[in-house]
Chains A and B, each alone.
Chain A
Amino acid sequence: MGDAPRPAPRTHVKKLGDSLLILALILAIWQGLYAYAGDVAISSPLNTFTFATGLLTHAPFWDHAAATLLAFAYALAISAAAGIALGLLLGLRRFAGDVAEPLLVSLYTIPKVTLYPVMLLVFGLGMSAKVAFGVIHGMIPVILFTLTAVKNIPPVLLRTARALQLRPLETATTVLAPAVMPEIITGLRVGFALTLLGVLIGEMFASQRGLGFLIINGINSHDVRMTTAVAVIVVVFAVFVNGAMLALDRRVHHARA
């Protein structure tokens, strides 16, 4: 109904204010936890911040970060490519999709951390185990989002394509792809977050390198500052990238609404 009013600049200011408020709230809770549990359990926000800036200017940290990023890049590439391909296949083959979907949802529900012994036994310690961990976490949501997007294409669009006598390739590029793109982007965003999670878990248990390893190592050597700082760096990174992808996500979705 009518055109939606564009957000006034004022709402941007408000949004920023809201975000700052939430940030302040989180810091307050953190400080509260610190006050409650003390240095043995968690380090204070301020301490963590100084320690983290120290870490970030420290070469060994970047070695670990690079290891994580490399494993993450492999895992994400596999999750995305295989996930989209499988999702398209299962979406177009209705029957196969209906057979597979509940199974995939069940797999999604499994606490995959518990599978780490198997992963370790199959892939050994190191890169491939980390990548495998990332993929088993990240691929399923990409498949599911893609599958749902293809399944939910309004039949009238496909009928229109047939009425216009488009060839299969033309149908795919001019009708299918644009119709499923927004959902696939959402799927990739979720897949991104979970792949990262998977890689980190893999590093916590099945690796001697990477940020996940730094976290678990911090715990084992009672270096609470290290654990807290690395966890926070990872979270900030994840939230930041998610925010960027969310902006893209919302743009492509809004263009439709």
Chain B
Amino acid sequence: MSTSARAPGISRGTLILWTRTAVVAGLVLLLELLCRTQVIKPLTMIPPSAMAQEMVRLIAAGEISDDIVQTVSEVGAAFAVSVLAGFALGALAQALPRVRRAIDPLLASWYAVPFFVFYPLLVALFGLNALPLIAIGVVFATPAMMLSTIAGLDRVPGVLRKVARVHRMSPLREVMLVTLPSAAPHLFTGLKLSFAYAFIGVIAGEFILSGGGLGYGIAYAYESFENRKMYALMLLVLLVAIGVNGALHVWETRLARRRART
């Protein structure tokens, strides 16, 4: 069996990418057809093409620029803080077994807590501005990064640490040249999860409790019966999620391909 990654013609990766695109296109087309033939009533859902059209119009007209800026900056801030804090706290917990044992039950049950039930309380507590939204994103995303960091550092093979010592590295060098690269796949998973949780936390927060941002835009459009705008905004959120995840996925497979035996 050939293990060559550079097979002639279309590689498996390309084939997968095309198939994936085709599947998505097919589903969109089906939905379009169902809507156009009134199997799905226009009051329930508008055709995807109309959603896209409206989305482009909204963006071009600058109607939702403020919302986009708000959401992007909130998600970005929450993501950055969670990745940095999660990495630092994770590394700390990994280095101090006592601390780790103490916070272990907390980390293990973190994602079992349905945080959304606290959203109404958060409005009452902090009011309607960006800070609580970022805080929600951080609270939601940081433990994922911590867990991934701990897992990654745990799995650095002991023999690689020995190699670092044979090369007489300083602790900082050891971290930069051995520990981090070795833990990289897990750290990457942490990055991906942190993005997902920051994104969910912020947009859901906007939806429920804020006065701005894409999440709020959807809720507002719904309440004022602006079906077209609502679906256009949903499509935008969906596209952003798919876009960022797709990019991270491509980057990750590229990194992983070297390291994994296929």
Interface residues, chain A, CB within 8 Å of chain B? 14-15, 18-19, 21-22, 33, 36-37, 40-42, 95, 98-100, 102-103, 105-106, 108-115, 117-118, 121-122, 190, 192-193, 196-197, 200-201, 204, 212, 215-216, 218-219, 224, 227-228, 230-231, 234-235, 238-239, 241-243, 246
Q: B101: which A residues are within 8 A, CB to CB? A: 14-15, 18
Q: Is B166 an interface residue (CB 8 A)?
A: no
Partner of A102, one of B20, B120, B200, B234: B20
Chain B 93-113, CB-CB to A under 8 Å as 1, else 0, gives 000000001111110110111
In the bound assembly, the distance between CA atoms of A95 and B16 in angstroms comes to 7
Could you say which residues of chain A place their CB within 8 Å of the CB of B85?
none
Q: Decide if A114 touches B118 in the complex (CB within 8 Å).
A: no
Q: How far is the CA of A114 from the CA of B116 in the complex (A)?
A: 13
In contact, B113 and A238 (Cβ under 8 angstroms): yes
Q: Are B111 and A201 in contact (CB-based, < 8 A)?
A: no
User: Which residues of chain B from 187 to 208 have any CB-CB distance to chain A below 8 Å in the complex?
Assistant: 192, 195-196, 199-204, 207-208
Known: A21-B102, A121-B45, A239-B109. 8 other contacts (CB 8 A): A102-B20, A108-B196, A110-B238, A113-B204, A114-B204, A118-B45, A218-B120, A246-B108
Complexed CA–CA distance, A4 and B3 (Å): 38
Give the residues in chain A near B60, CB-CB below 8 Å: none
- From B117, B208, B215, give the contact of A231 (CB < 8 A): B117
| Alpha-carbon separation in the docked complex, A14 to B99 (Å) | 12
Instruction: Give B contacts to A, CB under 8 Å.
Output: 16, 19-20, 23-24, 43-45, 101-106, 108-109, 111-114, 116-118, 120-121, 124-125, 192, 195-196, 199-204, 207-208, 215, 218-219, 222, 230, 234, 237-238, 241-242, 244-246, 249
When the two chains form the complex, which single residue of B23, B116, B125 contacts A33, counting CB atoms closer than 8 Å?
B125
Q: List 28 A-B contacts (CB under 8 A).
A: A21-B102, A33-B125, A36-B125, A40-B124, A42-B124, A99-B20, A100-B20, A102-B246, A103-B23, A108-B196, A109-B200, A109-B241, A111-B199, A111-B200, A111-B202, A113-B203, A113-B215, A114-B234, A117-B218, A118-B45, A190-B111, A193-B112, A193-B113, A201-B116, A235-B113, A242-B109, A243-B105, A246-B108
Q: Who on chain A is nearest to B104 by CB?
A: A18
For A113, list chain B residues within 8 Å (CB): 116, 203-204, 207-208, 215
Query: Are A115 and B234 within 8 A (Cβ)?
Result: yes
Pairwise interchain contact A235-B196, C-beta atoms closer than 8 A: no
Task: Please list the 7 inter-chain residue pairs (A to B) with the smallest Cβ-Cβ separation, ordered nearest first.
Answer: A242-B112, A41-B124, A111-B203, A193-B112, A197-B114, A219-B120, A109-B196
Residues in A with CB closer than 8 Å to B19 are 95, 99
Q: DSSP majority for the A interface?
A: helix
In the complex the two chains form, is B113's CB within 8 Å of A239's CB?
yes
* B246 A196 Cβ-Cβ under 8 A: no
Point out the residues of chain A lying under 8 angstroms from B195, CB to CB. 109
Question: Which of A122, A190, A192, A235 gathers the greatest number of chain B CB atoms within 10 Å?
Answer: A235
With A110-B241, A121-B44 in contact, is A239–B124 under 8 Å at CB? Answer: no
Complex partner residue of B16 from A21, A99, A114, CB under 8 angstroms? A99
